[in-house]
Amino acid sequence: MDKFIYQDLCAPGHFPDEALWNATRYVKDAVESGAVLLTCSEVTRVIVNGKQAIGVEATVQGERQKMYASQIVLSAGGLGTAQILQASKINKAGEGFFCDPITIVQGLVEGFETGKEIPMAAGMIFEKEGFVLTDLTLPKLVYQLFSVQALHPNRVWQHGRTMGIMVKVRDGLGGSIKRGKVHKIFSEADKQTMQLGESKAKEILLHAGAKRLYNTVWTSAHPGGSVRIGEIVDSNLKSEYDNLYVCDCSVIPTEWGLPPTLTVLALAKRLAKHLLFSAL
Is the predicted pLDDT of residue 177 greater than 70, yes or no?
yes
Percentage of the chain surpassing pLDDT 70?
99
Q: Is 157 exposed, middle or buried (0-12, 13-18, 19+ CB in 10 A)?
A: exposed
Please give the average per-residue pLDDT across 1-5, as a whole number.
Answer: 73
- Check residue 38 and report its DSSP letter: -
Long-range contacts of range 265-272, CB-CB < 8 Å, 24 or more positions apart? 265/23, 265/26, 267/237, 268/26, 268/75, 271/73, 271/236, 271/237, 271/245, 271/247
> Is 0.75 surpassed by the pTM of this model?
yes
203 with 211: CB under 8 angstroms? no
- Longest pairwise C-alpha distance within the chain: 67
pLDDT tens digit sequence for 98-131: 999 999 999 999 887 877 777 787 889 999 999 9
The answer to whether the Cα torsion of 124, 13, 1, 249 is positive or negative is negative
**By three-state DSSP, how is residue 246 classified?**
strand
| CB-count burial class (<10 Å; 0-12, 13-18, 19+) for 118 | middle
